[in-house]
Amino acid sequence: MDANLSKTRARSRLWPPSKSTTTVLNFTTNDLNTSNDVDFKLDEYHETDLESDMTENSKSQETSHNQLTDFQSLDEFSKRKKIDSRLQKSPTISPNNEKKISINSKIIDEVNVKLYNEKSYLNTDYDKIMSLIGQLKHDTTGISHYLYFCALNGVSPLRYVIQNLGKEKLSLQHRGIGNLEMKLITEALRHNTTITWLDLSYNVLELSSLSFLSKVLKENTFIQTLLLSECKLRKDGLMELFNDLIKNVTIKNLDLSGCDLGDSSCSMLAEILTMNRVLTYLNLARNQIGSDGAELLGDAISSNDTLFKIDLSWNSIANKGALDIAKGLKENIHISVCYLSWNGFSDKSGLEVAQIIKENTTLEELYLQHNRISDKEIETIGQAIYMATDSGETKLRVLGVSSNPISTKGLYNFFKQITKCQSLKLKQIMMEEIPVDFECMQLIESLEKTFTELCITHGPQLIVGNTQDDVQSEGGTFVDLLFLLKSQVNYNGKIFTDVLQNMDINKKGAVSVLQFIEALKIMGVNYKYEQVNDLQQRLNKYGDGTIYFKDYLKKNVDSLTPEANSSNSSPFRLNGSYS
């Protein structure tokens, strides 16, 4: 019967008009209790009248075919009505599910009315929607909800969303998400139990989108990481999420960097820090936070006992605001990682950083790149590290002070304090773009040799110091070139004799005066022409104006100054070490 029925239905498009068609249409809806009755009548029609009906005119054929389509429509509508009645039956409804079932029933009614009024209930969309409705209450990924609302709104679902709703991470960066897309995605997230990491970064979210997201924060208890970087929330946007962020008990990591929050939002941020008891990571970088906002945040940081990592870099925190943040960090008993780069920490706030290191027993990583920390502050920080290490009360492992206005003298005194330590928990000191001189390099090499796990990165190596006194004395103290030639100093990854040998094309161990000067330039050595002329006269073996450096190295002629002969002196600073 089924095979024959499929064939006859396929041929129904060619059916001519017939009386039997009219007879079938006279059946009422009550008579069509089962599909078997309909199938029987159709089969009977095919067997008896098909050949005679082929002679009818085409106009009558079109009219009767439309009538048969209407009959099939009535049949489908009857089936749909039965399905709806079963879905809307409510056996015993618990108080927790009563509201949810009521909402689902209302949605189903609205869908049915909409589809029926538009006469689209014979379309495949209706079948898809009805099949999805049956899956909604069993869907723990939100995929059925997403597809259901996409079909309801006439929107094509995003394959990427469908593929990742069942995973732990859902990243939607740079997707240009609008209000409608946000509504569809959040409907899925409200019922999702698998995603713990949600990234909406680099989408400019409007207030309507944020209101949809707030519902997710209320209802979803599985998301632990929420990234909203560069979403441009501003104060009004943060206000949409404010109450839900305070009450949320699952989100541990919150990224609000680049959201243009400003000082006006800091009262809400401070309250979130104070009231939320589960937040462990908060990123507020690039938010134009100034001194007024920093004052509020400093108080909140001091009282927070759950935060593990905080990022306040790339703001405008300086002067009193920087001091308030530093005091808050000093009093905090839980923060382990703190980013304060690209702010204005200096003077008093810079000295307060030293107190953080001395008194905070939980801080492990402190980043202060691109601030205004100078010699006095870095020396005090070095002293604080020595005192905290000596007492065993510090856990500091990483210190970043790159690109601060620190002179070679300030660095020397900083490292001098570190060398006093008997043991050292520091594993990394970052000082990129801060120049060092020979004496600093000696201390660095000594520290790295003593503490083998310590890694120190620094800026270019200078032949002379860069303090004010050095600059005022004709560009610094000049090198004894004979000492430089003999000492085999590694400068910027180069050794002077290696550079000379590369210029010695004939491999005679000799170079011209011009080649020697070029080698000094490659090394970056600060020199006077009188020095080169004097050296040429002393090493001009055959009186031909050539500098025979190899013979000098072989003979190891000790023609250095008394200062250079001292084991503690430097070839780069002939007027002694820093006091």
Question: Has residue 453 been placed in a domain?
Answer: no
pLDDT band at 80 (very low <50, low <70, confident <90, very high): low
* Residue 468 resides in a domain: no
Q: How far apart are CA 569 and CA 477, in angstroms?
A: 13
Domain boundary among 63, 89, 115: 89
Tallying the residues shown for the chain, one arrives at: 579
Instruction: Decide: 463 and 434 in contact? Cβ < 8 Å.
Output: no
**pLDDT of 26:** 36
- Let me know if residue 487 belongs to a domain: yes
pLDDT at 545: 82
The pLDDT tens digits for 345-369 are 999 999 999 999 999 999 999 999 9
Mean pLDDT confidence for 540-561: 71
pTM: 0.65
Q: Distances from the Cα of 463 to the Cαs of 410, 432, 497, 503, in angstroms? A: 16, 17, 16, 22
Tell whether 113 is covered by a domain. no
DSSP result, 323-392: HHHHHHHHH-SS--EEE--SSB--HHHHHHHHHHHHH-SS--EEE-TTS---HHHHHHHHHHHHHHHHHT
Which of the pair, 552 or 142, is modelled with greater confidence?
Answer: 142
Q: Name every residue whose Cβ is closer than 8 Å to that of residue 287 and which is 6 or more positions away in sequence.
A: 256, 257, 258, 259, 260, 261, 262, 265, 315
Could you tell me the pLDDT band of residue 543, with boundaries at 50, 70 and 90? confident
Q: Which of 89, 106, 129 is the last residue of a domain?
A: 89
CATH number at residue 558: 1.10.238.10
Structural domain includes residue 490 = yes
Average pLDDT in the chain: 78
Q: How far apart are CA 507 and CA 229, in angstroms?
A: 60
CA 323 from chain center: how many Å? 28
Structural domain range at position 26: 2-89
Query: In this structure, is residue 39 part of a structural domain?
Result: yes
Query: Considering 64, 89, 114, which residue would you say is the last residue of a domain?
Result: 89
Q: pLDDT tens digit string along 179-201?
A: 999 999 999 999 999 999 999 99
For the segment 258-275, the average pLDDT, to the nearest whole number, is 96
Q: What is the predicted pLDDT for the residue at 542? A: 82
Report the number of distinct structural domains present in the chain.
Answer: 2
Is 509 within the bounds of a domain? yes
Residue 44 belongs to a domain: yes
